[in-house]
Structure 1
Amino acid sequence: MASPSPSSTLPKEEEKESSAQQSNAQPEAMARSSSTKDPPPAPSWFTPKRLLIIFCVINMINYVDRGAIASNGVNGSARSCDDKGICTSGSGIQGEFQLTNFEDGLLSSAFMVGLLVASPIFASLAKSHNPFRLIGVGLSVWTLAAAGCGSAFSFWFIAICRMLVGVGEASFISLAAPFIDDNAPASQKTAWLAMFYMCIPSGVALGYVYGGFVGGHFNWRYAFWGEALLMLPFAVFGFVVKPLQLKGFAHVESKKALTSVETVSAVNDDSEASKVDGRSLVGRDGISADDLNTPCKSVGICNIRNQFSRFAKDMKVLLVDKVYVINVLGYIAYNFVIGAYSYWGPKAGYNIYHMKSADMMFGGITIVCGILGTISGGFILDRMSATISHAFILLSGATFLGAIFCFLAFCLRSLYGFIVLFAVGELLVFATQAPVNYVCLHCVKPSLRPLSMAISTVSIHIFGDVPSSPLVGVLQVFSYTVSTSLMMKVKAKSRQTQ
């Protein structure tokens, strides 16, 4: 009797594995076909330049709000009394609500709470919801929050509205740059990003003028209502027009299609699985097979758990990406220095050079150099052929030279020499804006770009410009105390020797 061939006597484990592979073949084919399917046709309203203009205007309005709340016309001044007992009524927000300087400072940074919390959330939701619609949601929240600021009746109400302004902004800053990157001409990607980020310094500058004019001629509340009216058409636009699709995300026609795509995405990833601590991890989202098989009490709980698992896996991918981590660390250091310069620079200029209008001088230089430097950085990188290696070369060179020029500016005793060197330094420093964001977009896979931009924004604020001003202030106090004590010891010793 002939013995059976080895191929006909597979072990039970191999039979199970073979049957599992066959059962997964169909969903894998569906996933591959959905990822390789031709992208849907562009909406009739869409052209790349039109999209850039729309996003630039939205970004401008957003930063006009930042400038307006800091302007004297909107922010105002507290009620004060002189030595003779003559009191003057306050103006603006601070005067109407009788805010302390601490409370007034909280209002200017309250948006940061909403921004930092909501940015990763919107970036994660982009995987299960249309990103263009998410921008519409965010802009709607922004519009309502701005209108709420104008209708505020107490400090806490306007503080909450400022936080919601940050929530609305979070959707836009996470998703706008990937849309611009997708639709910009290949030879002008960084230049288009530069035009988008140029709206930051120009928007803040326009906000100072806008807030001062409206607050001075009408009432500070009208400034916020005006912003809400300006943003309202864009919020409506995000809902009523046919949405654009973002590269790296599945085209979803319905909730049913979305669910099936998510299920396939969660279970299959090139038919590969791995094991960690004895648990099988399947899918590109890193969700364990045990978790997938665990029954949920409700669909909502399942969705939340899957969203969290997806977010955790994506965060792990970002944190082990050396290029991304180095880029963000450099961006944090850059914003730390810029934050300290923006706050302490005018004070140093006044004390060193006795400038009568230090605020106007520093503000004017920063606005002009911010616009010119940001645009120049984008165009230079495109001329160099936009790649990550070229971006790092431009970043390191511009940052190093810019730091030298800014440092030398404060070492000069001549006011005119200071202005020239400081302007050149700021031109070089702001030239990094477009390249650093180009690296954030292109060092990760397309589906991670929103989260990449969100985590970058959160990091540069938490570890960069927010703590820099108080830390530099503490350093100044410490250095002053040390230098004073040393001088006293030197004088004491000199007296003893005499």
Structure 2
Amino acid sequence: MSLTPAVASPPAPEPSIRAGYALFVLTLINLVNYLDRYIVSSALPAIQAEFGINNTQSGLLGTVFIVVFMLASPLGGYLGDRIPRKLLVAVGVLLWSLATGASGLASSFIALLVARAFIGIGEAGYGAVAPSIISDLYPRDQRTRVLSFFYIAIPVGAAMGYGLGGWLTTSYSWHVAFYAGGVPGLILGFLAFFMPEPRRGAMDEPGARIKMPFKEGLAGLASNKAFWATTLGYTLMTFSIGGLGFWMPTYMEKARGMPGDRASFLFGAITATAGLLGTLAGGWLGDRLDRKREGGGLGMSGVGLLLAAPCMFVAVNLESEPAMFATIALAQFFIFLNSGPINAAIVNCVPPAFRAFAMGLNVLCIHLLGDAISPTLIGKVADLSNLTTAIEWNALPVLLGGFALLVGAKLFRVASPLPR
């Protein structure tokens, strides 16, 4: 028991007016981020037909992007703790948008792989630093809700990628789908140059250190059990949903006999609706639970994954198409509950001066053992058996991820600001 007299915490600083502009631009960029990622999924059957590639080779289109993205992310995080973060965001968005447009110019499978790799480099400059910018624009008691708003872009962007990619591929060609996908990012990359650059730790308790020697920060992160338990759960979840997001439109077209544009549209609409509702609910509930106890929102994320796993398994075993889509929607709602809480937990359990690198390292981990390998592995299992069997097995990582997040919630402690 501490003998130090209780001292009232100073009131949380209020976000600036320009914080709303930055949140709006970063959220739109995140939307385009996932739109560009998932155009390839809805265009995949047409790409397979043009280049004559099998499922295993097709999975490489997802894997090569993720491998480059995850390897470059720690570097992006390292730079994000040391140079103006808005510059990393702006340059990264412009680079990946140009690479998306260049994907449409690909005349061979190898050329398309190279273009997807450059998309990964561009996204790494953005993905690691955006949550740290938001955490420095909004106080801790608002971060889960604000980050949930930011992560709403994931299901909406993915849905737009499925829908736009499916429609343009069917109506024109997969090349046109990539051309269209690159345009919005060029505009947003320019707008990112005008975002505010908040002081690191600006919305944390007074006295937070804004610079930290890299070795010191790395040593603290190595012993941060909550960070690693959360990252483990996030990795298991990412393995499963990353692979499923890549293959589900193809599964519906080839295993269920649905037309390609209809499969992409329906799956995209379900992802947008269930993801939007789940993300908003997770942000609201996460903030309420975090006020009751540290790690409350993270515990809710774990429960969400435990509920999602059986839904994922059952969905592909239902004969009724409406029942299958309803069960997929339920699974996605439970999965997207964690979008805000799990990322808020990561930034809150790490000192402000080391947040961007911690996010970059988290990105490396969740993709290295997550969706960098799952599209290819699912494709391999599908080649050996069928897509239905491959998708069934992906309920297991979600289940294990839920248990890992519950452990992280028990270990969770908000990082104390270190002295200057």
Place the TM-score, normalised by the shorter chain, in its bin.
0.7 to 0.9
For residues 149-174 of structure 1, give each alpha carbon's deviation from its aligned partner in whole angstroms, at most 9, with x where no partner exists: 34445443332222111111011111
Distance in 2 separating the partners of 1:405 and 1:460: 22
Could you say which residue in structure 1 is the equivalent of 2:285? 380
Alignment of 1:168-247 (within 5 A): 168-184=122-138, 187-239=141-193, 241=194, 243-247=196-200
Offset at 1:119?
0.6
TM-score norm. by structure 2 comes to 0.72
Q: Contact 1:133/1:243 (CA < 8 Å) preserved in 2?
A: no
Letter in 2 for 1:322: K
- Change over 3 Å in CA distance of 1:388–1:467 after alignment to 2: farther
| Residue matched to 1:321 | 224
Partner of 2:404: none
Shift in CA distance, 350/450, structure 1 to aligned 2, threshold 3 Å: same
Give the alignment's TM-score, normalised by structure 1. Answer: 0.62
Are the counterparts in 2 of residues 194 and 374 from structure 1 also a CA contact under 8 Å? Answer: yes
1:71 to 15, 39, 42: 42
Report what 2:413 is aligned to.
none
Counterparts of 1:473 and 1:223, CA distance in 2: 23
- Higher RCO (CA < 8 A, seq sep 6+): 2
Gaps of 5+ in 1: 1-38, 80-94, 250-260, 266-283, 286-309, 481-498
The answer for the alignment partner of 1:58 in structure 2 is: 29
Residues 247 and 108 (structure 1 numbering): CA distance in 2 closer, same or farther, change over 3 Å? same
- Change over 3 Å in CA distance of 1:347–1:169 after alignment to 2: closer
**AA of the residue aligned to 2:180:** G
- Counterpart selection for 1:460 from 331, 341, 366: 366
> Which amino acid in the other structure matches residue 24 of structure 2?
I
Number of residue pairs matched by the alignment: 361
| CA offset digits 1:180-226 (Å, max 9, x no partner) | 22223654321221121121121122122222343444554444333
What residue identity is the alignment partner of 1:437? N
Q: Contact (CA 8 Å) 2:41, 2:162: kept in 1 or not?
A: yes
Paired residues of 1:388 and 1:442 also in contact (CA < 8 A): no
Return the alpha-carbon distance in structure 1 between the equivalents of residues 238 and 102 of structure 2.
Answer: 30
Per-residue deviation, 1:410? 6.5
Judging changes above 3 Å, is the alpha-carbon distance between structure 1 residues 341 and 145 closer, same or farther for their aligned structure 2 residues?
closer
Of 275, 295, 301, which aligns to 1:395? 301
Give the Cα–Cα distance (whole angstroms) in 2 for the partners of residues 404 and 208 of structure 1: 25
Contact 1:124 1:451 in 2 (8 A): yes
The structural deviation recorded for 1:315 is: 3.3
Take 1:479 and 1:67, find their aligned partners in 2: how far apart are those partners?
25
Quick check: 1:388–1:439 contact (8 Å CA) kept in 2?
no
Instruction: Provide the residue aligned with 2:393 in structure 1.
Output: none
**Rounded Cα–Cα distance in structure 2 between residues aligned with 1:225 and 1:219:** 10
Match of 2:235 in 1: 332
Matches within 5 A, 1:329-368: 329-339=232-242, 341-342=244-245, 355-357=256-258, 359=263, 364-368=269-273
Instruction: Name the structure 1 match of 2:6.
Output: none
Q: What amino acid sits opposite 2:46 in the alignment?
A: G
Give how far 1:147 is off. Answer: 3.6
Q: Which moves more between the two structures, 375-384 or 439-448?
A: 375-384
Return closer, same or farther for 1:71/1:334 CA change in 2, 3 Å cut-off: closer
Match of 1:115, as an amino acid? F
CA contact (8 A) 1:328 1:459 kept: yes
| Gap change, CA 1:476 and 1:394, over 3 Å in 2 | same
Partner Cα distance (2:381, 2:61) in 1? 25
SS at match of 1:244: coil
Q: What's 1:21 paired with?
A: none
One of 66, 79, 83 as aligned partner of 1:125: 79
Tell me how far 1:238 sits from its aligned partner: 3.6
CA distance in 2, matches of 1:145, 1:424: 34
Please show how residues 397-416 of structure 1 align to structure 2 within 5 Å.
397-407=303-313
Tell me the residue number matched to 2:344.
Answer: 438
Distance in 2 between the 1:409 and 1:196 partners? Answer: 28
- 1:219 and 1:421 map into 2 onto residues whose CA distance is 31
Q: Alpha-carbon deviation of 1:233? A: 2.6
What SS is found at the alignment partner of 2:187? helix
Q: Which has the larger radius of gyration?
A: 1
Change (3 A) 1:75 1:54: farther
Is 2:329 aligned against 1:447?
no
Deviation at 1:383, TM superposition (A): 2.8
**SS state at 1:376 partner:** helix
- Whether contact under 8 Å (1:131, 1:245) holds in the other structure is no
- How far apart, in 1, do the equivalents of 2:319 and 2:110 lie? 46
CA–CA distance in structure 2, aligned partners of residues 415 and 186 of structure 1: 43
1:334 counterpart SS class: helix
- Cα deviation, 1:366-400, whole Å, max 9, x if unaligned, reads 44222211221111112334564212321232222
Contact 2:145 2:287 in 1 (8 A): yes
> SS of 2:39's equivalent?
helix
Shift of 1:325: 0.6
Partner of 2:335: 429
Match of 1:370 in 2: 275
**Structure 2: unaligned runs, 5 residues or longer:** 1-12, 203-208, 387-420
Q: Does the CA contact (< 8 Å) of 2:59 and 2:375 recur in 1?
A: no
